[in-house]
Structure 1
Amino acid sequence: MPDSLPVHINRKELHGLEVPDTFETSDSFDVRLINHGESTHVHLHLDDSLSKLAALEATNYHVDRDSERRVRVTVDGDGETRGNLKVVTAYGSTTRYVDVRIAEPEPEDEPVQVDEDLAKPQPKRDSNTGFALADVPDEQVLAVGGAVLFFAVLAAFLSQNLLVVFLALLVAIGTLVAVYAAAAR
């Protein structure tokens, strides 16, 4: 799709306007006001349906003699619409309409960024071992074991219940085994 809509002014006659019949886009675009003759003012207007998705910064533009001026039409909304762009010169004596269709933008295929580290072979872990206590630092094992042992003894002392005392004893034995395994490394 073209990114600019050409409008020829004064090419064949004074105050003459030549515009394409239709224009299709999916994004913001420029209206190229190409003046082939005397300086003039050009009025641009988007109809109601185009104004829902697009906007002009201003509506009146001065185009110097034998020059070109670009006017940005900013497409902000999502969706499709069709409407008319009105182009007027010579204080309304010459008017032309361009049938403008704003289509949905094509989805862009964004490239996938791959980190260089991904190409390097990763060390293989034995899938049978899973999580090993040996992977945990000794200080953490001792700290958690001490805290568990403290709360187990406290619960047994406060409850004076035989079941709680038995469970606290099991926790204490498990903690001592974990501490012994950590120390054996």
Structure 2
Amino acid sequence: MPDSLPVHLNRTDIHSLEVPNEFDATGSFDVRLVNHGEALHVHLHLDDSLSSVASLDATNHHVRAETDRLVRITVDGDGPVRGKLKVVTGYGAETRYIDIYIPEGGTENEPVIVDDELSKPQPKPAPESEPGLEDLSAGPILAAGGFTVLIAGLITLVLTESLLLTAVAVLAVTILLGLLSVAVRSS
């Protein structure tokens, strides 16, 4: 059984198509578009029964002049299935049908390529921990302390009505606010 299905393009005339009448597939296979002339577009289509077990990545293909192009048909279901592959050139000027047969158990086990990196143990992620007191910057702590001292100073002023205590409290609050501003800028 051939590995690929040959489709000859432009061999006898422009847009001419030469295809086999039938093709037996035991699994995924390639359609080999062999262009013997000028560049052209080829449209491939799987009928309903064939598309129930097989698929094409794309249906329209540009084939450059005097080149070959492989188009993969992936068989991912079980047969037995008989269907038709439609091949069109010249935007419908030439159309041919190929009978495709996929027998029971028609999917081959295609090799799976495994990267060597997958066989190596992966590092365990570091457990997430909650931030401790040492992770906090000094700015917010100093701001909270300064605010507490400021409130305490104001309460003392209201309760004692002493001029000396008021002056000391204002001086202390001013120094504290200065220290706080330095601490917040440095953090």
TM-score normalised over the length of structure 1: 0.56
Matched, 1:5 2:5: yes
Alignment match, 1:87: 87
CA distance in 1, matches of 2:79, 2:23: 17
CA distance in 2, matches of 1:5, 1:55: 15
Give structure 2 stretches of 5+ with no counterpart: 109-187
Equivalent residues in 2 for 1:1-185, closer than 5 Å: 1-105=1-105
CA distance in 1, matches of 2:20, 2:82: 15
Question: Residue 73 of structure 2: SS of its match in structure 1?
Answer: strand
Report the CA distance shift for 1:22/1:106 in structure 2 as closer, same or farther (over 3 A): closer
Q: Which amino acid aligns with 2:9?
A: I
Report the CA distance shift for 1:107/1:99 in structure 2 as closer, same or farther (over 3 A): closer
Q: Which amino acid aligns with 1:17?
A: L
Report the CA distance shift for 1:40/1:26 in structure 2 as closer, same or farther (over 3 A): same
Q: How far did 1:44 drift? A: 0.0
Question: In terms of Rg, which structure is larger?
Answer: 2
What are the superposed Cα offsets for residues 71-105 of structure 1, whole Å, 9 maximum, x if unpaired? 00000012210010000000001000001001124
Question: Residue 65 of structure 1: SS of its match in structure 2?
Answer: coil
Q: Which amino acid aligns with 2:15?
A: H
CA distance in 1, matches of 2:34, 2:42: 11
Identity %: 64
Report the CA distance shift for 1:6/1:79 in structure 2 as closer, same or farther (over 3 A): same
Question: Residue 41 of structure 1: SS of its match in structure 2?
Answer: strand
Report the CA distance shift for 1:106/1:62 in structure 2 as closer, same or farther (over 3 A): closer
Say if 2:8 and 2:17, in contact at 8 Å, map to a contact too: yes
What are the superposed Cα offsets for residues 39-81 of structure 1, whole Å, 9 maximum, x if unpaired? 0000000000000000000000000000000000000012210
Say if 2:25 and 2:106, in contact at 8 Å, map to a contact too: no
CA distance in 2, matches of 1:106, 1:36: 32
What are the superposed Cα offsets for residues 91-145 of structure 1, whole Å, 9 maximum, x if unpaired? 001000001001124799xxxxxxxxxxxxxxxxxxxxxxxxxxxxxxxxxxxxx
The number of aligned residues is 108
Give structure 1 stretches of 5+ with no counterpart: 109-185
TM-score normalised over the length of structure 2: 0.56
Q: Which amino acid aligns with 2:8?
A: H
